[in-house]
Amino acid sequence: MRILAIISGEYGVRHVSNLREHGPQGWSIESWKAPAAFPLIMDYPEDFLPASFPECDLILSFAENKSVAELIPEIAKMTGARGAVAAVDNEAWLPRGLARQLRGWLERMNVACATPKPLCSLTERDYKVTRRERETYDSAIISEFARYFGQPDIRLTLDGESRTVISAVVQRDTVCGCARHVAEKLAGLSADEAEERAGLFHHHFPCLASMVKLNDYNHDTLMHESGRLLQENLAEQLKPFKQTRYISPTGLISNEGSQSSI
């Protein structure tokens, strides 16, 4: 797969670095740094683009300027791209209405487009646009990318007797590499502590999603939503091994745990 990544700064640089280091063999990843400033009204988007781009199958936009969205249709035309993923890890970089417009512009060009909010909500069939709403898409090229990068999928192996994590294998990493970072720290943790510690590891990476509170995420932030997605992936796997604590009428605490294998 041939990928063209649009970047503006360190946010995009880290994403591209992780894709190059951990993407499948056969992926070719080029990057283009978008201009730092744009006029309020862009009459001719092509004036802000180079004379040519390498051909690609998929465009990834990690731009930190909302004006870049207006360039993506022209870039798709110049590269022959069949799909585009525009990250929404900060709504200031791609507001909700503009994300909807971008999907419409590209749809009219027969180019599939996903605008995951946050980026680590992307799966092989859909992505989040609000806390409770997911948008589906139909694109083999985006699905192929999402097999490897998007909503975190870490597979745990636990010891039933000690209730500790033996190994954590990344089936699907986040684009930024946070899931891989967390997985590397889970071995040896007990089932009771692994989920909470994973949340701390996620924040310490650090996650680059926005800390601005959003109405469509129940006044929560995209950084916290990102951490929640990762913890939810682990929670169901850890649940059979967790020790349940009961408080008796006398005030004494008793423990009861279940042991099984994954």
Domain boundary among 113, 146, 179: 146
Q: Angle at Cα 2 formed by Cα 144 and Cα 233, nearest 5°?
A: 30
Looking at the fold, whether 202 and 110 belong to one and the same domain comes out as no
Q: Which helix (H) or strand (E) holds 228?
A: helix 222-238
Do 105 and 44 lie in one domain? The reply is: yes
* Model confidence band, residue 238 (pLDDT cutoffs 50, 70, 90): very high
Regarding whether 214 and 158 lie in a shared domain, the answer is yes
Q: How far apart are CA 153 and CA 147, in angstroms?
A: 10
Same domain flag for 127 and 162: no
Predicted TM-score (pTM) of the model is 0.90
| Residue 255 domain-assigned (yes or no) | no
- Say yes or no to pLDDT of 260 above 50: no
Strand pairing report for 126-128 and 134-136: antiparallel
Q: Which domain CATH number covers 88?
A: 3.40.50
- Please choose, from the candidates 119, 235, 226, the residue with its C-alpha nearest in 3D space to the C-alpha of residue 186: 235
pLDDT (tens digit per residue) in 187-206: 999 999 999 999 999 988 88
The CA distances from residue 83 to 53, 70, 114, 117, in Å, are 15, 16, 8, 17
Alpha helices in 67-148 (DSSP H): 72-79, 96-107, 140-146
Same domain, 50 and 134: yes
Residue 115: inside a domain = yes
Q: Is residue 167 part of a domain?
A: yes
Closest CA to 91 of 223, 232, 179: 223
Q: Do residues 11 and 29 share a domain?
A: yes
pLDDT tens string 207-226: 889 999 999 999 999 999 99
Q: What is the pLDDT of residue 4?
A: 98
Domain end point (choices 146, 169, 202): 146
| Shared-domain flag, residues 10 and 120 | yes
Whether residues 191 and 132 share a domain: the answer is: no
Q: pLDDT tens digit string along 239-255?
A: 999 986 655 555 555 55
Tally the domains of the chain: 2
* 103, pLDDT greater than 90: yes
Is residue 57 a contact partner of residue 142, using CB atoms and an 8 Å limit?
Answer: no
The CB density around residue 106, as the number of other CB atoms within 10 Å, is 21
Q: How high is the pLDDT of residue 240?
A: 94
Q: How many residues does the chain have?
A: 262
Within this chain, do residues 141 and 171 fall inside the same structural domain, yes or no?
no
Q: Give every CB contact of residue 200 below 8 A, 6+ residues apart in sequence.
A: none
Domain annotation covers residue 259: no
Q: Is the pLDDT of residue 262 over 60?
A: no
**Residue 258 placed within a domain:** no
What pLDDT, on the 0 to 100 scale, is given for residue 46?
A: 83
pLDDT value at residue 213:
96
- Is residue 51 scored above 90 in pLDDT? yes
Structural domain boundaries enclosing 120: 2-146
Q: Is residue 194 part of a domain?
A: yes
Same domain, 175 and 198: yes
Instruction: Tell me whether residue 237 is in a domain.
Output: yes
Peptide bond into 240 cis (omega under 30): no
Structure tokens at 175: 């684009």
4-8: average pLDDT: 97
114-164 pLDDT, tens digit per residue, is 999 999 999 999 999 999 999 999 999 999 999 999 999 999 999 999 999
Mean pLDDT of the chain: 92
Could you tell me if 131 and 18 lie in one domain?
A: yes
Q: Residue 259: is its pLDDT beyond 60? A: no
Last residue of one domain, picked from the residues 146, 161, 191:
146
Return the closest-CA partner of residue 244 out of 259, 255, 229, 228.
255
Mean pLDDT of 170-186: 97
Residue 3 has pLDDT above 50, yes or no: yes
Q: Does residue 203 fall inside a structural domain?
A: yes
Reported as half-sphere exposure (CB side, CA atoms, 13 A), residue 109 has a value of 22
Please, what is the end-to-end C-alpha distance for the chain in angstroms?
Answer: 33
Residue 255, CA distances (Å) to 20, 165, 166, 193, 242 in order: 46, 20, 22, 15, 10
Are 142 and 157 contained in the same domain? no
